[in-house]
Amino acid sequence: MSTTNVGDALAEEVLRLDESRYRAMTAGNADLIESLLDAELVYTHSSGFTDTRDDYLKGVRSGNFVYGPIDHTVAKVMVEGSVVMVFGEMHTEAVINGVKKTLDNISMSVWRLVRGEPRLVALQTTPLARR
């Protein structure tokens, strides 16, 4: 397994797509989000709830997930063959199921190649620990 932040073409493509996903979340662009998600997506929210791809997209389309501007930083990128893992932080104000929330999370996204294209297969966010 290699750890990289620059230079690896697949890692660079995934970072570009991950940034596109965050912009699409802010814009509520469910079609763009859908194009980036693997059919087998498992999305574990910071609340502990887990969504499938279809559940998450339904939430975006219905307005149950509304995101303000997202500040996302990448701390580490790991590449294992055709799988890329991106570790970082995500900060935003969001309205989730009608409740305004401040999200300060650690994030881990896992991307894999599907017919030669990177797709998000797993996403987990965890509230940032305060010391």
Residue range 72-117, pLDDT digits in tens:
999 999 999 999 999 999 999 999 999 999 999 999 999 999 999 9
Residue 2 has pLDDT above 60, yes or no: no
Long-range contacts of 16-20 (CB under 8 A, 24+ apart): 17/111, 17/118, 17/120, 18/72, 18/74, 18/86, 18/109, 18/111, 18/120, 19/72
Task: Give Cα separations from 30 to 8, 69, 98 (angstroms).
Answer: 29, 16, 18
Q: What is the pLDDT of residue 129?
A: 85
Report pLDDT for 49.
94
Query: Does residue 44 carry a pLDDT above 60?
Result: yes
Specify the 3-state DSSP secondary structure of 131.
coil
pLDDT reading at 121 higher than 50? yes
CA-based nearest residue to 111, from 37, 50, 48, 53: 37
Question: Residue 131 has what pLDDT?
Answer: 64
pLDDT digits 0-9 by tens, 3-39: 554 448 999 999 999 999 999 999 999 999 999 999 9
- The residue among 128, 131, 36 whose CA lies nearest residue 87 is 128
Closest of 5, 14, 7 to residue 82, by C-alpha: 14
Question: Which pLDDT value is given to residue 130?
Answer: 73
Answer whether 15's CB lies under 8 Å from 74's CB.
Answer: yes
Residue matched to tokens 């570009």 = 16
Other CB atoms within 10 Å distance of the CB of residue 121: 19
Domains, in order of start, for the chain:
2-127 (3.10.450.50)
pLDDT digits (tens, 9 = 90+) for 63-73: 999 999 999 99
Residue 86 in contact with residue 79, Cβ under 8 Å?
Answer: no
